[in-house]
Amino acid sequence: MRIFFNMSLCLSLLSVVNCGYAQPLEKNLAPTTQHIDYKASPRPDRLILTLTENPSNEIMITWRTDNTISQGVAEIARVEKQYDFYKKASQKTSITSTITSLENEEVIYHKVKFENLSPNTFYAYRVGGGNYWSEWIQFKTSEEKFTKPFQFLYLGDAQNDIFSLWSRAVRGAFKKAPNARFAIHAGDLINHSQNNYEWGEWFEASSFIPKMLPSLITLGNHEYVKDSTGHKTGISNLWDPQFNFPDNGPKGFKDRTYYVDYLNCRIICLDSNKGIEEQKIWLENILKTNTNEWVIVFFHHPVISASKGRNNDGVLQHWKPLFDQYKVDLVLQGHDHVYGRGNKVNSGLGKWNENSGTTYVVSVSGRKMYSLSDHPWMDKKGENIQLYQVITVHENTLNFKAYTLDNQLFDNFELIKRTNQSNLLKELPLSESE
């Protein structure tokens, strides 16, 4: 008697049951009641822009289709006053990768890097294949050098009820700062690492925003696959094909650890889940060679937790001394599902000058909440509130505003650069004129 079975589905299920997840298999499958269309089709979807090492001259575009579109195409044109700008578009074929979901759906991911663009210029692009195309979508390259203040967004964990409730946060942030240059996401975009439906919710909730506003994203613990003991065994197979970040990190950390020099900022992304000591050597070199005015670092697990009963000793012991030594300006974090902010984060390790002026922030944009700790590092804190942050970078000052979803200022401060001294943190009023 012969038994026939689908090998790819069997291997997918084995990866869940034996190599495993801390959650049951059904947690990584779509719910019975589905509020969005999450399966791939010939139409391009899940479009996302990501910055490269050269934000004034390049952009990376990623999207997906079903397996009937084996080769994708992206077109780009400089935006002009005339409606028919697109007639001058140039075209580039995509680099593709294929994955199979836990539901045995074979999906093609496409990526295209456009190079040799002009600085400080509006472009429009579309992607497609066969007879199916996206809309034309606009973005703007950065200037070559810093000439005027610019803004970016920072959002903590989305994770739960992404479509129904987190959507308010990301859309509110975009409405508050429609000219923001990019968005930083501090990990845990979803709850179950290989739940394709949840990833669909993240893109549906974000709507057109990641199509035109480049994203910089770090891995949270919920983007990792776990075995039955909760041990992290690897990254979701939906991560690398979808998110294409600068390939300038340490070996073995592609799309996990990277940096971008954006005008007068060096922005560094770290993976606080695994390989903390391995990333330390690379981190020190990237900090040591920095020539930008501002240094902003983001990762998922806070240096010192803002909620009760949570510690991240590896981050504290291996990275914080480098932040102190090289006077990192701002550290953006997630994971704790509360709000905390302070610049007197003392580890007790006795390494370097811990009063280096580095400001640490923990924030949450989704609806899942934890209880605050009473740790003294927080000068501003809050719980049970969804927040988004708008950060404005000047030449010698940096303004940070955190907003609740009813459009109220929750935190407002300014960092001021001082010659041969640590940054001055100036508290600002929790009111502003519209």
Instruction: Quickly list DSSP for 282-330.
Output: HHHHHHHT--SSEEEEE-SS-SS-SBTT---HHHHHHTHHHHHHTT--E
Measured CA to CA, the distance from residue 305 to residue 401 in angstroms comes to 21
pLDDT band at 433 (very low <50, low <70, confident <90, very high): low
Measured CA to CA, the distance from residue 332 to residue 269 in angstroms comes to 10
Per the model's pLDDT, the better-predicted residue between 375 and 259 turns out to be 259
Q: In the chain, what percentage of residues exceed pLDDT 70?
A: 92
Measured CA to CA, the distance from residue 91 to residue 114 in angstroms comes to 9
In this predicted structure, what is the pLDDT of residue 25?
73
Three-state secondary-structure class, residue 393? strand
Measured CA to CA, the distance from residue 150 to residue 293 in angstroms comes to 14
In this predicted structure, what is the pLDDT of residue 7?
36
Average pLDDT over residues 406-421: 96
**Alpha carbon 239 to chain centroid, angstroms:** 12
pLDDT at 12 over 70: no
Closest CA to 295 of 260, 266, 326: 266
Q: 151 forms bridges with which residues in the sheet? A: 392
Measured CA to CA, the distance from residue 176 to residue 154 in angstroms comes to 12
In this predicted structure, what is the pLDDT of residue 17?
35
Residue linked to tokens 């280096």: 356
Measured CA to CA, the distance from residue 88 to residue 423 in angstroms comes to 48
Measured CA to CA, the distance from residue 11 to residue 214 in angstroms comes to 35
Closest CA to 385 of 366, 401, 400: 366
pLDDT at 3 over 70: no
pLDDT tens figures, 330-376: 999 999 999 999 998 876 666 555 677 899 999 999 999 999 998 88
Terminal CA-to-CA distance of the chain, rounded, Å?
A: 75
Amino acid type, 404: T
Measured CA to CA, the distance from residue 367 to residue 348 in angstroms comes to 33
Measured CA to CA, the distance from residue 223 to residue 239 in angstroms comes to 8
Taking CA 389 as the corner, what is the angle to CA 112 and CA 417, rounded to the nearest 5 degrees? 100
Taking CA 212 as the corner, what is the angle to CA 206 and CA 130, rounded to the nearest 5 degrees? 95
Instruction: Say which range, 82-91, 137-146, 342-351, has the weakest mean pLDDT.
Output: 342-351
CB 381 within 8 A of CB 339: yes
pLDDT band at 23 (very low <50, low <70, confident <90, very high): low
CB 213 within 8 A of CB 174: yes
For the chain, the average pLDDT equals 91
pLDDT tens figures, 308-326: 878 788 999 999 999 999 9
In this predicted structure, what is the pLDDT of residue 1?
33
Average pLDDT over residues 280-307: 96
